[in-house]
A and B are shown apart, each in its own frame.
Chain A
Amino acid sequence: MNLDFNPEEIAFRDEVRAFIDENYPKDLVGMGSREDLTREQFLAWHKILGAKGWSAPAWPEKYGGTGWTSTQRYIWSEENARVDAVMPLPFGIAMVAPVIYSFGTDEQKARFLPKILSGEEWWCQGYSEPGAGSDLASVKTTAVRDGDHYVINGQKTWTTLAQHADWGFFLCRTDPDAAKPQEGISFILVDMKTPGIEVRPIITIDGGHEVNETWLTDVRVPIANRVGEENKGWTYAKFLLAHERSGIAGVARSKRGVEKLKQIASTEVIDGKPLMNDDSFARKVSQLEIDLTALEFTELRTLAGEAQGKGPGPESSILKVKGTEIQQRLTELTLEAVGTYGAPYYRGFPNDDSSNEFPIGPDYAHHSAPMYFNMRKTSIYGGSNEIQRNIITKMILGL
């Protein structure tokens, strides 16, 4: 056991740090957790990394991965967190791509992977439906064969940022008569510009437009866009869910968040002294940091296991549960730190000085309440924290 970086790793850190300093867009520093970015802002860093060949460190090298060790990937996320970088969204790079390179045809790999790497095509995830949330296997959207096409009908929901998406990966029912609901599902790639697709916004409690309803009416999709075997989609879907483990804990970003929180708490005053000097507040920050350290070392242990060839397992549920609890606590303490100025709502402000600035209270306070509201999603999505505990119950405890 050894926690130190070796000289090559230190050289690697210096290299990526210099690259980020030189190339990361200055106007996007500190924007990594924001949900209200434009398409261009979401894609800016992704495109720079794509050109450099660094947009998908976790992929196998032959498809465009970087071949970095798990330690190097750890360094990479730490360095990006230093500027709170707007990282490539997970839907293409981390979700659909591993399914495509593991189960797709050569044509599919050639057609889709390069544009995922470069950031040229934006992907969304069409899993959930109004009636199929935690019980994902109960999806009702149907894909019926018609010659060399599927005709898709149904409704997906919660489709994150589908308003920007070029492509979506959808779970559709191809065999309504299968013995088990899990057995009749296929994994299908859909061009979001196909006629019959309608994307309608859902506004969340923070006021943002991050999710959508996606309605599909007689959407014709070539059968060649199915990944893997017909009716085996559930296997790929679960592969994808379990595979998406690196980054799920959000350790590097939360560490950066704790730094920011401490800065805010050092600026805010209570009875004339910095809030950070207040014992009861400082203890809560310490508790958060301690929990984050425990998570970090759990993640490092998991990554080390993965490097030794242990496949991703149900332990990733620990990272999901603890990582999201920490992200939520962080935004909660930030809101607490800003005190009275958490209340003003920047979105509703009439811009009487015709600038984008919101002139009420300190800048760091403007997003504190909306961020706290928004982060309640993290214990709901990606398999809710109750479902994750069910998975640990069943898969690890064997109960």
Chain B
Amino acid sequence: MDFNFTEEQGMIRDSLARLIREQYDFDTRRGVVASEAGWRPEMWAQFAELGLLMAPFSEEDGGLGGGSIDAMIVMEEFGKGLVVEPFIPSVVCAGGFLKHAGSAAQKEEHLAAIMGAESTFAFAYAEPRGRYNLADLETVAKKDGAGYVLNGHKAVVIGAPWADKLIVTARTGGDRRDAGGISVFIVDKSASGVTTRDYPTVDGRRASEVYFENVSVGADALIGSEGEALPLIERVVDEATAALCAEAVGAMGVAHGMTVEYSRQRKQFGTAIGKFQVLQHRMVDMFMEHEQSISMTYMATLKLDEDEVTRKKAVSAAKVRIGQAGRFVGQESIQIHGGMGMTEELAVGHYFKRLTMMNSEYGNVDHHMRRYTALSAGEMKAAAE
């Protein structure tokens, strides 16, 4: 057993941490979030220069030979800095689809562009009435000659305003919630029939509603085999979820650290509020929640390449635990800061907001608890037979 990072991973982490410290301080981030674009393409290019965007790809694919652990390292640092640039949608999701199932030609066309930040992807999977069920799709792709025609509406597509390309899940067969009949496509955002409505999100990012109206794509837009994409989607979303857990860990650690520090500085009743035992114990609980979250993130990330049931249980367990921890740490960070925690001016409130919204990304606590329970029941049944 070994929980140490390799020398290369350590270097990625240190150089990213330095870059965020120097160029992603809280005031800079606030300015970026408030700007018209809502992100910094030049920062994204710098991340690419550092090699971050190639870190999780194999050498054959043109990457640095790393994997999910590298994505975890990047996202923990992103979480600490509340970085808005779209590492998960573009690198973990789009990159994940391409590396697991992309054809040689698709990899050739897109992977190097993703790694070099020349092309940015968003992942259009959620739908207005699908909640967290990845198979609950109303978007359809109808066979049309060699290609397909897409129609549908994708909801709250994170990073879509910044993207030039989309990964889109759609139904090529089967009924609305069937496991079969789902396919994944690469769609140019500028393709005719694609329209978007862009807006900010409550936690400082940008998203779009994406509408497809008779959007024609060629056969080469299909990733993997037609109608059999659900296992692939689940795998990529599990990888994205693990990366999101790492982001939550980064954000939680900072929120906790800020709270402890504030409790040292802030005096009431002639003493630092950190001396009140009720607050001390609560900050100890926050600390324990954070530590448990680190453990769960490592656990889930290390199991991403195991068999399907093991992977899904691990990721759901982590998402449940981290959802609960993020809620507690976020809420108590505000409470212990008192009125100051409520202000837009202080960073801690922004960590709270991001932690809140992470809870519902890629499935909330209830969703993952349900999935975990169903998988456990399935295992017991299999063992009994």
The answer to whether A and B come from one shared complex is yes
Chain A residues proximal to chain B, CB less than 8 Å: 128, 131, 133-135, 138, 157-158, 202-205, 207, 211, 268-272, 275, 278, 280-281, 335-336, 339-345, 348-349, 359-361, 369-370, 372-373, 376-377, 379-381, 384-386, 389
User: Does B345 have its Cβ within 8 Å of any Cβ on chain A?
Assistant: yes
Given contacts A202-B343, A360-B209, 13 further A-B contacts (CB under 8 A): A133-B339, A203-B343, A204-B344, A205-B350, A335-B360, A339-B131, A341-B155, A344-B201, A348-B199, A369-B357, A372-B356, A373-B349, A376-B331
**CA–CA, A128 and B268, complex, Å:** 12
Partner of B344, one of A203, A281, A377: A203
Partner of A373, one of B129, B199, B353, B360: B353
**CA–CA, A372 and B357, complex, Å:** 11
**CA–CA, A158 and B342, complex, Å:** 10
User: Cβ of B349 and Cβ of A343 under 8 Å apart?
Assistant: no
User: Cβ of A343 and Cβ of B203 under 8 Å apart?
Assistant: yes
Q: A133-B339, A376-B335 are in contact. Are A343 and B353 (CB under 8 A)?
A: no
User: Does B40 have its Cβ within 8 Å of any Cβ on chain A?
Assistant: no
User: Cβ of A270 and Cβ of B131 under 8 Å apart?
Assistant: yes
Partner of A344, one of B131, B133, B156, B345: B156
User: Cβ of B352 and Cβ of A340 under 8 Å apart?
Assistant: no
Q: Which residues of B contact A344 (CB under 8 A)?
A: 156, 199-202, 207
Q: A269-B129, A359-B197, A376-B341 are in contact. Are A342 and B202 (CB under 8 A)?
A: yes
User: Which of B360-380 touch A at CB < 8 Å?
Assistant: 360, 364, 366, 369-370
Of the A-B pairs whose beta carbons lie under 8 Å apart in the complex, a sample of 12, sorted by A's number, is A134-B269, A134-B338, A205-B349, A205-B352, A207-B344, A278-B366, A339-B132, A340-B126, A342-B202, A348-B200, A349-B200, A370-B202
User: Does B64 have its Cβ within 8 Å of any Cβ on chain A?
Assistant: no
**CA–CA, A389 and B282, complex, Å:** 15
**CA–CA, A79 and B129, complex, Å:** 34
User: Cβ of B128 and Cβ of A380 under 8 Å apart?
Assistant: no
Q: Which residues of B contact A340 (CB under 8 A)?
A: 126, 128, 131, 155-156, 360
User: Cβ of B343 and Cβ of A342 under 8 Å apart?
Assistant: no
Q: A342-B202, A360-B199 are in contact. Are A380 and B276 (CB under 8 A)?
A: no
Chain B residues proximal to chain A, CB less than 8 Å: 126, 128-129, 131-133, 136, 155-156, 176-177, 197, 199-203, 207, 209, 267-270, 276, 278-279, 331, 334-335, 338-339, 341-345, 349-350, 352-353, 356-357, 360, 364, 366, 369-370
Nearest-neighbour CB distance to chain B for A293, whole angstroms, equals 24
Q: A281-B366, A379-B335 are in contact. Are A271 and B136 (CB under 8 A)?
A: yes
User: Cβ of B343 and Cβ of A336 under 8 Å apart?
Assistant: no
Partner of B269, one of A135, A335, A341, A349: A135
CB closest residue in chain A, given B282:
A386
Q: Which residues of A contact B339 (CB under 8 A)?
A: 128, 133, 157-158, 211, 377, 380-381
User: Cβ of B129 and Cβ of A203 under 8 Å apart?
Assistant: no
Nearest-neighbour CB distance to chain B for A18, whole angstroms, equals 40
Q: A134-B338, A203-B345, A272-B176 are in contact. Are A342 and B357 (CB under 8 A)?
A: yes
Q: Which residues of B contact A271 (CB under 8 A)?
A: 131, 133, 136, 177
Q: Which residues of B contact A131 (CB under 8 A)?
A: 267
The binding surface of chain A is classed by DSSP as mixed
**CA–CA, A176 and B334, complex, Å:** 33
Nearest-neighbour CB distance to chain B for A210, whole angstroms, equals 9
Nearest-neighbour CB distance to chain B for A316, whole angstroms, equals 20
User: Cβ of B360 and Cβ of A336 under 8 Å apart?
Assistant: yes
Q: A340-B126, A359-B197 are in contact. Are A133 and B338 (CB under 8 A)?
A: yes
Q: Which residues of A contact B201 (CB under 8 A)?
A: 343-345
User: Cβ of A134 and Cβ of B344 under 8 Å apart?
Assistant: no
**CA–CA, A260 and B45, complex, Å:** 46
User: Cβ of A349 and Cβ of B342 under 8 Å apart?
Assistant: no
Nearest-neighbour CB distance to chain B for A59, whole angstroms, equals 30
Nearest-neighbour CB distance to chain A for B58, whole angstroms, equals 33
Q: Which residues of B contact A386 (CB under 8 A)?
A: 276, 278-279
Nearest-neighbour CB distance to chain B for A322, whole angstroms, equals 16
**CA–CA, A158 and B334, complex, Å:** 15
User: Cβ of A268 and Cβ of B209 under 8 Å apart?
Assistant: no
User: Cβ of B366 and Cβ of A280 under 8 Å apart?
Assistant: yes
Nearest-neighbour CB distance to chain B for A27, whole angstroms, equals 25
**CA–CA, A344 and B335, complex, Å:** 25
Q: A204-B343, A342-B360, A360-B197 are in contact. Are A373 and B202 (CB under 8 A)?
A: yes
**CA–CA, A128 and B356, complex, Å:** 29
Q: Which residues of A contact B334 (CB under 8 A)?
A: 205, 376, 380
Nearest-neighbour CB distance to chain A for B39, whole angstroms, equals 14
Nearest first, the 4 closest Cβ-Cβ pairs linking A and B are A348-B200, A205-B349, A135-B268, A203-B344
User: Cβ of B366 and Cβ of A380 under 8 Å apart?
Assistant: no
Q: Which residues of A contact B133 (CB under 8 A)?
A: 270-271
Of residues B209, B352, B357, B360, which shows the largest number of chain A Cβ atoms within 10 Å of its Cβ? B360
Nearest-neighbour CB distance to chain B for A258, whole angstroms, equals 19
Nearest-neighbour CB distance to chain A for B234, whole angstroms, equals 16
User: Cβ of B342 and Cβ of A345 under 8 Å apart?
Assistant: no
Nearest-neighbour CB distance to chain A for B133, whole angstroms, equals 6
Q: Which residues of A contact B335 (CB under 8 A)?
A: 376, 379-380, 384-385
**CA–CA, A369 and B354, complex, Å:** 11
Q: Which residues of B contact A207 (CB under 8 A)?
A: 344
**CA–CA, A138 and B267, complex, Å:** 11
Partner of B155, one of A134, A204, A281, A361: A361
CB closest residue in chain B, given A362:
B128
Partner of B360, one of A339, A381, A385: A339
